[in-house]
Amino acid sequence: MSDLNASCLCGCVRLTLPDAFLYMGNCHCSECRKFTGADYSSVGGIEQSKVVILAGESEIRYYPKSDETELAFCSHCGSSLFSHKVKKGLFNIRLGILDTAPRHAPDFHIHIASKAPWHTVNEALKQFEHGPD
Ligand SMILES: [Zn+2]
Ligand SMILES: [Zn+2]
């Protein structure tokens, strides 16, 4: 199993992680839409301990969204990098920052109830009105 590389737009933040996502999905919640500036955010969940920050750790800023979640971004270029699930010790890596293709692809949508009204959802994937919990 080869490792995946990831980086921000300006390249100062570089990560590496095993191709071992616990899940991969598309989040349509309004917070992910705002944070990423996209119609939805594709993320892959992985244990925080498996992600190695190779470069640019001091450039990463964390926006405290809630007690559970902080959102990581590059302070130079603004790229959203991952959400950190503080209590679970998980990173939800924004798949858009990957420089290497993972073996799998997102296979579900969450928070369809708050999807962008102009966006047509790919109906081939499972859909959840709200979160997975
Ligand atoms: Zn950057
Ligand atoms: Zn979301």
User: Would you say residue 34 lies in a domain?
Assistant: yes
Q: The domain that contains 66 carries what CATH number?
A: 3.90.1590.10
User: Would you say residue 49 lies in a domain?
Assistant: yes
* Residue 104 CA, ligand 1 centroid: distance in Å: 26
Predicted local confidence at residue 55, as pLDDT:
98
* Residue 60 CA, ligand 1 centroid: distance in Å: 8
In the structure, ligand 1 is a single-atom ion and the residues with CB under 5 Å from it are 8, 10, 12, 74, 76-77
User: Would you say residue 133 lies in a domain?
Assistant: no
Domain holding 59, by residue range, is 3-127
Cα distance between residue 27 and residue 82, in whole Å: 13
The total number of structural domains in the chain stands at 1
* Residue 110 CA, ligand 2 centroid: distance in Å: 8
User: Would you say residue 37 lies in a domain?
Assistant: yes
Structure tokens at 60: 């990463």
Asked whether 90 and 51 are in contact (CB, 8 A), the reply is no
* Residue 133 CA, ligand 1 centroid: distance in Å: 32
* Model pLDDT for residues 79-118, shown as the tens digit of each residue: 999 999 999 999 999 999 999 999 999 999 999 999 999 9
* Model pLDDT for residues 9-59, shown as the tens digit of each residue: 999 999 999 999 999 999 999 999 999 999 999 999 999 999 999 999 999
Whether the predicted pLDDT of 133 surpasses 60 = no
pTM of the prediction?
0.93
Name the band, by pLDDT with cuts 50, 70 and 90, for residue 131: confident
